[in-house]
Amino acid sequence: MDADHAVERLTRSIEDFNSVFIRLPGTDRLSFSALSVLHTLSRRGPCRLSELVRTEQIKQPALTAAVSKLERDRLLVRGPDPSDGRAVLLSLTDIGRQLVVGRHTERADRLRALIDQLPAGRRKRLLGIAGVLDDIVSLADQQRPTDRQDPDHRQDLDDERTRP
């Protein structure tokens, strides 16, 4: 198998896995987009709305609506950006953090039950790649521009400064 074919197969496998994995815990009250926002804030810390537009790949009006719902549900809060008092940072509340941790725990339990059904050799190989996947995520995060690095998003920042 050549490298290009292997990358295509890996991409397809990751997409299929993500499709199954995201649905492991049952959560009826929040959309996948809202859950993704909570997970991103949990993983990366406080973010501006324009940063989330890029990371979540959701149009700003839809993301603004999702963020407003999460704020009403007391899962996240808006606060001043210490580096620019006119801008707003979104961050998780304790309730939001608890929801993310609870989903993670439930997913881990359900994934563990699936992994336990694999032959021992396959389980060992699968569990050994977690560090490699972490490395890929870190590389992707390093290559993603932030608001402060990306001059094309000045309008997004100006829009955020005028929001309550």
What per-residue confidence (pLDDT) applies to 162?
41
Closest CA to 65 of 33, 26, 97: 33
What per-residue confidence (pLDDT) applies to 27?
57
Contacts of 106 (CB under 8 A, 6+ apart): 24, 25
Contacts of 70 (CB under 8 A, 6+ apart): 34, 37, 38, 76, 96
Helix (H) or strand (E) holding 81: strand 76-81
Q: Would you say residue 164 has pLDDT above 50?
A: no
d(CA 150, CA 155): 11
**Cα–Cα distances in angstroms (integers) from residue 71 to residues 34, 37, 88, in the given order:** 11, 12, 13
d(CA 65, CA 24): 25
CA dihedral over 42, 31, 135, 120, signed as positive or negative: positive
Identify the residue with better confidence: 57 or 38: 38
d(CA 103, CA 112): 14
pLDDT by residue (tens digit) across 50-85?
999 998 888 999 999 999 999 999 999 999 999 888
pLDDT by residue (tens digit) across 111-156?
999 999 999 999 999 988 988 999 998 998 888 765 445 544 444 4
What per-residue confidence (pLDDT) applies to 146?
56
CB-neighbour burial class of residue 65 (10 A; exposed 0-12, middle 13-18, buried 19+): middle
pTM of the model as a whole: 0.74
Walk me through the domains of the chain, giving residue ranges and CATH numbers. Answer: 30-161 (1.10.10.10)
Q: Would you say residue 34 has pLDDT above 50?
A: yes
